[in-house]
């Protein structure tokens, strides 16, 4: 069996590290309880403090005060949690249902397909006017210039095109050839 590589000295905790952590638990719980006054938050704070202390054990200087180091970690963790809770928003279930509901998109696709089909059945001059006005957003005057026709012709084609589209979509039948 090959020899395992020795653990670097920096990662080995001091011999009394675990014992001091365990001995500090009651005082940490008491301090956490005085800070937040919420039992579930107390448990979370103490647990997170112990995890952070263990993961930062290489930064602890042997011979220095262990308990103040732990209490500093706990206090910083508490203030971080308070800041984080300030950014969280409580959701009411009824409000969440209203806000998080996505409207079905199936009908929209059906309507778009109906409009495309009806547009395809219109005479070219009516289709062109509808696409210029409704599709491109041109005014009637701009459409008249673009199509090189009079304003009355534009209005007439738009009116006839809209009526034909409505008839095609409502009946579901093809427009008779003109």
| 75 plus 23 within the same structural domain | yes
Q: What is the pLDDT of residue 178?
A: 44
Which token pair is 119? 């547009």
Which residues, in sequence order, are CB contacts of 146 under 8 Å at separation 6+?
A: 132, 138
Range of the domain at 74: 13-87
Structural domains counted in the chain: 2
Q: What is the CATH number of the domain that holds 152?
A: 1.10.10.10
| 81 plus 40 within the same structural domain | yes
Between 43 and 9, residue with greater pLDDT: 43
For residue 16, what is the DSSP state? T
| 28 plus 65 within the same structural domain | yes
| 112 plus 158 within the same structural domain | yes
Please tell me the number of Cα atoms within 13 Å of 131 on its side-chain side: 13
Helix (H, G, I), strand (E, B) or coil at 150: coil
Q: What is the CATH number of the domain that holds 24?
A: 1.10.1740.10
| 73 plus 119 within the same structural domain | no
| 90-133 pLDDT per residue, tens | 667 776 666 666 676 666 666 777 888 888 889 988 988 888 88
Q: In angstroms, rounded to a whole number, what is the distance separating the alpha carbons of residues 57 and 132?
A: 72
| 144 plus 79 within the same structural domain | no
Please tell me the number of Cα atoms within 13 Å of 139 on its side-chain side: 2
Which residues, in sequence order, are CB contacts of 27 under 8 Å at separation 6+?
A: 67, 71
Residue 39 backbone dihedrals phi, psi, to 5 degrees: -60, -45
Q: What is the pLDDT of residue 1?
A: 44
Helix (H, G, I), strand (E, B) or coil at 56: coil
| 80 plus 27 within the same structural domain | yes
- Mean residue pLDDT across the chain: 79
Which token pair is 98? 């209203």
Find the distance separating the first CA and the last CA of the chain, reported in whole Å. 93
Question: Of the candidates 87, 120, 146, which is a domain's last residue?
Answer: 87
Helix (H, G, I), strand (E, B) or coil at 122: coil
Between 17 and 33, residue with greater pLDDT: 33
- Residues 177, 126 contacting (CB under 8 angstroms): no
Q: Which of 8-12, 32-36, 109-113 shows the lowest per-residue confidence on average (mean pLDDT)?
A: 8-12
Confidence at 13, pLDDT banded by 50, 70, 90: low
Given the structure tokens 């009526």, which residue do they identify?
Answer: 163
- Residues 154, 143 contacting (CB under 8 angstroms): yes
């Amino acid at each position: 069996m090959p020899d395992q590589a020795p653990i670097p000295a920096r990662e080995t905790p001091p011999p009394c590290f675990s014992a001091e952590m365990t001995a500090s638990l009651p005082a940490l719980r008491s301090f956490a309880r005085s800070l937040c006054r919420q039992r579930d938050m107390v448990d979370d704070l103490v647990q997170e403090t112990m995890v952070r202390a263990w993961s930062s054990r290489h930064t602890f200087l042997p011979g220095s005060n262990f308990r103040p180091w732990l209490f500093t970690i706990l206090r910083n963790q508490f203030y971080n949690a308070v800041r984080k809770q300030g950014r969280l928003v409580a959701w009411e279930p009824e409000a969440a249902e209203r806000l998080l509901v996505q409207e079905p998109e199936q009908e929209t696709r059906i309507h778009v397909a109906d409009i495309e089909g009806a547009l395809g059945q219109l005479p070219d001059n009516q289709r062109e006017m509808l696409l210029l006005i409704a599709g491109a957003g041109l005014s009637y005057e701009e459409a008249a210039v673009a199509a090189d026709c009079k304003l009355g012709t534009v209005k007439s084609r738009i009116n006839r095109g809209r009526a034909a589209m409505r008839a095609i979509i409502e009946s579901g039948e093809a427009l008779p050839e003109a």
